[in-house]
Structure 1
Amino acid sequence: MSEFKDLLKAAKFVTFLTGAGVSTPSGIPDYRSKNGLYKREKYDFPPEYMLSHENLLKNPEIFHDFTVHNMYFPDALPNIIHKKMAEISNDKGAIVTQNVDKLHTKAGAKNVVEFHGNLYDDIHCLTCGKQFDYKYYMKDYIHHEDNGIIRPGTTVLYGENINPKNVEKAVEYVKKADLLVVVGTSFKVYPFAGLLNYASSDAKLVVINKEDIDIDSSGLAISDDAVNVFSQL
């Protein structure tokens, strides 16, 4: 902990790379843990298919049911991790997140790249483009004026490309950092997991995760609950 504090203090620009483990303390389930979203067996298809562009178009009712009951947590509040990251990044850094829950933004963070988009912005009809708010979407997936399918926000589904602007900005923040802090992610999803390839050779790396992850072992690894870690900052 003391080494991490020293690194944060000395850093000129800190980039946080975050995943689902940052939001689990706020009551949002992760994906790949033993109790995560991808371990549930209620549906006939694997979650990767349930959250795919193909499923959205072929089985919009099933897609909607899965998304509303497994992905939306509008009452969730930022936890100490989000709050401390917002404080640090607003002072001298940025956050690049895989999460689609907007909790980093709710915590007040200003320099945030939502790499996979989010569930709450730009909810629209695929036929005419009309905008809806998430409260409407949680009740219905059909735009009854033209019978179009409504899709959930800017979220990147399986089978879709990442927004190039998000990739560009994320790479910029990684290149700029002299301290990279990876928190709450298995680092198995690409291209997000490939962002570290753009890090400066002089940048320091800190990994905070309950379980070991397969990335450069030369950095500082803290095997602990991120809530415990960020509560001490």
Structure 2
Amino acid sequence: MSDEIIELKNLIEKSNFVTFLTGAGVSVPSGIPDYRSKGGIYRTGSFETTPEYMLSHDNLVNHPDAFHGFTVENLYYPDAKPNIIHKKMAEISNKKGMIVTQNVDMLHTKAGAKNVIEFHGNLYDNIHCLTCGKEFDYKYYLKDGRHHEDNGVIRPGTTVLYGESVNPVNLMGAQKAVSDADLIIVVGTSLKVYPFAGLLRYRKENTKLVVVNKDDLDVSEADLTIADDAVNVFEQL
């Protein structure tokens, strides 16, 4: 066990409240591609426009069929299972903390985590017709993006699209989770998407900050940076 992992283990044991800030990298070991890394969705796809536009509110409204095709092809992995990172975070946060995630795959919840804020919503709750409000199972959405009784466009869950605002309840909850923590652990996120990336400004002065990421995020205020595969790190906690 490396000195860095030993130090992280000790920080967790001594802490009173641990807040995990997680992104797409946490779910890569479960078989879900991330967005911005070398093999991520935003780097490997062939798009007529930007992937950000494909996942935007404007695209949903103006080109619903294209939006549906892109979303189903790139975002839905209903058979994915939680990995050791999800499981260990669930164990720790259920005892003393919170998980604030950018991920829309619900794997933290599937791992048994009870204290989770899905900052950008998820793909599985409240899938509904924008015309009449009727709700649908995700399995229906995987086959069809329209409600044919009224030709309404179906929206995929509570997911926050580009051009939309984060749910204020999630935003305030995330800010509180950061301000309540005496240890914050950032895992699998580039910290480039706002307002998620701005959550660290709510960290208290004496709160320890740990970054676990294969690639250097250059988070200058971090007290500990572990440049290692998160699976390897969390298997040893």
What is the TM-score normalised by the length of structure 2?
Answer: 0.97
Partner of 2:54: 50
1:186-201 map, 5 Å: 186-201=190-205
* Secondary structure of the structure 2 residue equivalent to 1:94: strand
**1:208 has 2:212 as partner:** yes
- Residues 1:221 and 2:225 are matched in the alignment: yes
**Correspondence 1:127-166 to 2 at 5 A:** 127-166=131-170
Q: Give the Cα–Cα distance (whole angstroms) in 2 for the partners of residues 134 and 74 of structure 1.
A: 9
Pairing of 1:91-106 with structure 2 (within 5 A): 91-106=95-110
Distance 1:64 1:140 in 2: 8
The CA deviation at 1:34 is: 1.1
Give the residue type in structure 2 aligned to 1:82.
H
Matched ranges for 1:57-68 at <5 A = 57-68=61-72
Aligned residues: 233
Residue 98 of structure 2 aligns to a residue in which SS? strand
Q: 1:35: how far off? A: 1.0
Q: Could you say if the C-alpha distance between residues 218 and 27 of structure 1 is closer, same or farther in structure 2, counting changes exceeding 3 Å?
A: closer
Residue of structure 2 in register with 1:110 after alignment:
114
Q: What CA distance in whole angstroms lies between the structure 1 residues aligned with 2:171 and 2:200?
A: 12
Q: Residue 72 of structure 1: SS of its match in structure 2?
A: coil
CA distance in 2, matches of 1:21, 1:194: 19
Per mean C-alpha deviation after superposition, the further-off stretch among 156-165 and 31-40 is 31-40
Structure 1 residue 218: deviation in Å?
A: 4.1
Which residue, out of 64, 74, 78, partners 2:78? Answer: 74
Where does structure 1 lack aligned partners over 5 or more consecutive residues?
Answer: none
Task: Find the aligned partners of 1:172 and 1:83 in 2 and give their Cα distance.
Answer: 23
Amino acid paired to 2:159:
T
Two-structure CA RMSD over aligned residues (Å): 0.7
Secondary structure at the counterpart of residue 174 of structure 2: helix
**SS state at 2:217 partner:** coil
Percent of aligned pairs sharing the same letter: 69
Say whether the 8 Å CA contact 2:212–2:225 is kept in structure 1: yes
Kindly state the Cα deviation for residue 89 of structure 1 after the two structures are TM-superposed.
0.1
Runs of 4+ in 1 over 4 A off after TM superposition: none
The amino acid across from 1:139 in the alignment is K
Provide the secondary structure at the position in 1 that maps to 2:37. Answer: coil
Name the CA shift for 1:136/1:2 in 2 (closer, same or farther; >3 Å). Answer: same
Alignment partner of 2:186: what SS?
strand
Query: What is the match of residue 30 of structure 2?
Result: 26
The CA distance in 1 between the partners of 2:163 and 2:13, in whole Å, is: 41
Q: 1:50 is aligned with what amino acid?
A: M
Q: Hey, what's the Cα distance between the residues in 2 that align with 1:57 and 1:92?
A: 42
SS of the residue corresponding to residue 132 of structure 1 reads coil
Cα 1:217–1:199 change in 2 (3 A) is closer
Structure 2 counterpart SS, 1:75: coil
Give me the whole-angstrom Cα distance separating, in 1, the residues matched to 2:16 and 2:158.
Answer: 31
Task: Tell me the distance in 2 between the aligned counterparts of 1:129 and 1:66.
Answer: 22
Code of the residue aligned with 1:214 in structure 2: it is D
**Equivalent position of 1:119 in the other structure:** 123
